[in-house]
Amino acid sequence: MSPDVAPLTRERVLDAYRTVLRARALDDRRFVLNRAGKLAFIISPRGHEVAQVAAITALDPSRDRFCLYYRNFAAALACGFTPEELMLAAFARAADPSSGGRQTPGNFGSRRRGVIIGSSTVGPQIPKAAGIGLALKWRGEGSLCYVSFGEGATSQGDFHEGLNFAAIHQCPVIFFCENNHWAISVPQRLQVAGPGVAERAAAYGIPGVRVRGDDFFAVHQAVQEAAVRARSGEGPTLIEAEVLRLQSHSTDDDQRAYRDAAELAAEAARDPIPRMREALTKRGWLNDEADAALREEVNREVERATDAAEASPDPDPSTLGRHVYADV
């Protein structure tokens, strides 16, 4: 094991679990606020949280770069965004650190945290990450670029360009595909021929790994191994984490219109959060009392973050053209 790898202690895993709970509770609140007409639009990470937090926990936010995508709400928390900051984005307030309330709330950006803002377009973060990886390689500091996307994004030309470039130039990049088997209403079989995304790595001459996205330890290990490879100059890895989309694509979508009711019920019963709780309980790292205390703490954070963000001012309309046109 590389000396770069921080051991996965009980404290770090419980911290990750708290982040998972935080993501779920904040997202539930966002959903209610959306239905109450207070938030315009959000994209839920429901079902992806454990995989996202496990992946980021295996990396080093103090030196790595992160090209996140719109469903990475839990990943953003793991990168250090606070609940209040994410609520400011949801309410599109001026103090939203990503874009001052200008972008949709899933476009996360924070220079000091190494989170590079994306766009709502599917895929362009992938070749961007390859380029960032090349720059990091030239700097020679042992840092890497992590980029995430759904399986639908792998149908974009950007996927090929990014993986091909990163593989040829041995860039320190981790390509993390969160395969929830749906791209809005398009199922995986109409998006990817063959068993899945991981197999595509072979065409680029890089390792491809498929992992269960509801297994915190398995995802963490896969990302940690990819990070060791990247940091030691062995190039990129493609990881496919199989996850569930337990919510519709966005608050503007209703998946009951195109998904089978029995399948939705079966997936709801496979929620990864109880699985993570069970895994921690088995290790003797968590009990019912500690779990309840964590949930209470997280609920209080959600209350505080919501109140603070709601009371925060909107962007000044006179700044409408900022970041779009040159300031004159």
Ligand X SMILES: Cc1ncc(C[n+]2csc(CCOP(=O)(O)OP(=O)(O)O)c2C)c(N)n1
Q: Is there binding between residue 165 and ligand X (CB under 6 A)?
A: no
Active-site residue flag, 258: yes
Q: Which CB sits closer to ligand X, 45 or 61?
A: 45
Three-class SS of the chain: CCCCCCCCCHHHHHHHHHHHHHHHHHHHHHHHHHHCCCCCCCCCCCCCHHHHHHHHHCCCCCCCEEECCCCCHHHHHHCCCCHHHHHHHHCCCCCCCCCCCCCCCCCCCEHHHCECCCCCCCCCHHHHHHHHHHHHHHHCCCCCEEEEEEHHHHHCHHHHHHHHHHHHCCCCEEEEEEECCEECCEEHHHCCCCCCCHHHHHHHCCCEEEEECCCHHHHHHHHHHHHHHHHCCCCCEEEEEECCCCCCCCCCCCHHHCCCHHHHHHHHCCCHHHHHHHHHHHCCCCCHHHHHHHHHHHHHHHHHHHHHHHHCCCCCHHHCCECCECCC
Q: Of these, 2, 121, 232, 319, which contacts ligand X (CB under 6 A)?
A: 121
CB of 249 to ligand X, least distance (A): 6
- Catalytic residue selected from 258, 270, 322, 323: 258
Q: Which CB sits closer to ligand X, 190 or 202?
A: 190
Q: Which CB sits closer to ligand X, 100 or 123?
A: 123
Residue list 54-83, contact with ligand X (CB under 6 A): 71
Q: Of these, 4, 12, 35, 120, which contacts ligand X (CB under 6 A)?
A: 120
Active-site residue flag, 181: no
Q: Of these, 61, 100, 109, 152, which contacts ligand X (CB under 6 A)?
A: 152
Q: Is there binding between residue 150 and ligand X (CB under 6 A)?
A: yes
DSSP 3-state of 243: coil
Stretch that binds ligand X, among 145-153, 219-227, 251-259, 318-326 (CB under 6 A): 145-153
Active-site residue flag, 249: yes
Residue list 171-210, contact with ligand X (CB under 6 A): 178, 180, 182-184
Residue list 207-266, contact with ligand X (CB under 6 A): 249
Q: Of these, 90, 136, 153, 222, which contacts ligand X (CB under 6 A)?
A: 153
Stretch that binds ligand X, among 97-105, 150-158, 203-211, 315-323 (CB under 6 A): 150-158
Q: Which residues bind ligand X (CB under 6 A)?
A: 71, 120-122, 149-153, 178, 180, 182-184, 249
The residues that are catalytic are 245, 249, 258
